[in-house]
Structure 1
Amino acid sequence: MLTTHRFTEKVVFVTGAASGIGRAAALAFSAEGARVAIADRTEATLEHLRAEIEAAGGEVLAIRCDVSLPEEVEAAIAGTVERFGRLDCAFNNAGVENRATPVHEIELDEWDRILDINLRGTFLCMKYELAQMVRQGGGVVVNTSSGAGIRGVAGGAAYAASKHAIIGLTRSAALDYARKNIRVNAILPGNIETPMMDRFTGGDVQKAIDLEPVGRLGKPEEIAEAVLWMCSDLGGFVTGAATVIDGGWSL
């Protein structure tokens, strides 16, 4: 990835930051000068990331946060603003996969778990992020949907439903805030080389590779680069977009 200084003095908030796409994005934002607030439920790996960013000379705030809990999300945004003074970009990436199950066998607790984290969590983050951006006069939000947000996935109804809904949420918010100097977009990753993919395939990632027309999994850094572009001035005319980055999987 080409390192520039697109985000010098910018403040960026990243959820699901402890691993995978979130981790790659946090590192990329920091490398380009951003002050980064990293949020995740997994404290140990979050602390490893904090130490890595600091060792590279970055300024970082690590926040343990369950995005499904409004009080924790509100506190995370408030803590970010208290530490850094503002919020320029937010990458709402926290999410979980479901256990592969046909619809009639999905337990209600499992349905609620997926929707609470993936959809409710994205909404809660947006609620408090956008309120801050309105107060300060602008900002950018990027949400993680999925290739499963535009197609069906056998055994993945809960996950696909949550990711379809994120696109609708993103596009509606883009219209709500278009004249307030706030852009809202979504990325739709395909099969990416992350711990989530390992869990979903039971360690047999070749099954996911076989689904990709390009013959490989995507890299977290490739998704992160798209997020940075959306948040940069070069993406300044983009809002309400649902950008597919999936190696042709959804075609």
Structure 2
Amino acid sequence: MTPAADVTGKRILITGGASGIGAASALLLASRGAKVVIGDLAEELGQQVAQQGQEAGHLVMFKKVDVTSGDEVRELFAFAMQALGGLDVVINNAGVDHMPAPMHELRDEDFDRNIAVNLKGVWHCMRAAITCMAPNGGGHVINVASIAGLRSAPVLSAYSASKHGVIGLTKTAAIEYAKANIRFNAVCPSFIDTPMVQNTLAKLDERGQQSIVKASPLRRLGRVEEVSSAIAWLASGESSFMNGHAFTLDGGMMA
């Protein structure tokens, strides 16, 4: 009997794979038989994740990349194509946030960085994925967005703008490339217990921390394994009729 969310033999590239959701997804997918390349700017952490997967007997490789650079993204995809022999799934997870602030107080550099990494970086990777997948029968691109891309996100205006853009790119590409058998879907988590969220919490007072933790009706942060398990399902053949969808993992915030 084929196990649920079977990804055996799938060739998968994950950006932002050195920590958080990306690292958890890489290790889970590899443990289920996928061949994985992770890309990240954090070289030491990325190498550690790859080593952890290799020590468990799985195929996990790392390459440093800055997703804001189109040239570096193309180099990453060329590396993955050569190392894996092709790409079946690309998970665009690399992202940043910014210190919560009213829109009129947000610094130019914070807005620019969020757009450069979260939106243009995803666009670079989507474009590279299409170039690799279209001549080879298709594939699946999974963009990690956020519920901040589906609703208002007070004091997170730059982050929200970038994630709304990711969902727009996802839906547009899903229609443009359906005939090429390339599917595009987005994963939209709420606050997940990742290093990025913990870094934000550390900068807030107790009231601010509690407002984030209790934003979900479940009254807690999401866990990385809850998101990586959903990504694993999307990466499997079981999601084969899903295209152009924004998949929420928010404990009920959008209900």
Q: CA deviation at 1:154?
A: 1.6
Question: AA paired with 1:92?
Answer: N
Q: CA deviation at 1:232?
A: 1.1
- What SS does the aligned partner of 1:234 have? helix
Mapping of 1:121-200 within 5 angstroms?
Answer: 121-200=121-200
Is the CA contact 2:5–2:232 (under 8 Å) kept in the aligned structure 1?
no
Whole-Å Cα distance in 2 between the matches of residues 123 and 76 of structure 1? 14
Matched, 1:240 2:235: no
Alignment RMSD: 1.4
Is the CA contact 2:174–2:185 (under 8 Å) kept in the aligned structure 1?
yes
- What SS does the aligned partner of 2:96 have? coil
Is the CA contact 2:5–2:237 (under 8 Å) kept in the aligned structure 1?
no
**1:89-120 deviations in whole A, cap 9, x for unaligned?**
00000000112122222222221111000000
Q: CA deviation at 1:210?
A: 1.4
Whole-Å Cα distance in 2 between the matches of residues 47 and 168 of structure 1? 33
Greater alpha carbon shift after TM alignment, 222-231 vs 199-208: 199-208
Q: CA deviation at 1:234?
A: 0.7
**1:74-103 deviations in whole A, cap 9, x for unaligned?**
000000011111001000000001121222
State the partner residue of 2:230.
226
Q: CA deviation at 1:126?
A: 0.5
Matched, 1:208 2:244: no
State the partner residue of 1:217.
221
Q: CA deviation at 1:4?
A: 5.8
**1:28-77 deviations in whole A, cap 9, x for unaligned?**
11011111001111011111101100011111220101111111100000
Whole-Å Cα distance in 2 between the matches of residues 29 and 66 of structure 1? 23
Runs of 4+ with >3 A deviation: 203-207
Whole-Å Cα distance in 1 between the matches of residues 70 and 47 of structure 2? 23
CA 1:165/1:5 → structure 2, altered by over 3 Å: closer, same or farther? closer
* TM-score after normalising by structure 2: 0.94
**1:111-169 deviations in whole A, cap 9, x for unaligned?**
11110000000000000011100011111000011011111112110000000111110
* TM-score after normalising by structure 1: 0.95
Is the CA contact 2:184–2:244 (under 8 Å) kept in the aligned structure 1?
yes
Instruction: Give the gaps of 5 or more residues in structure 1.
Output: none
State the partner residue of 1:87.
87
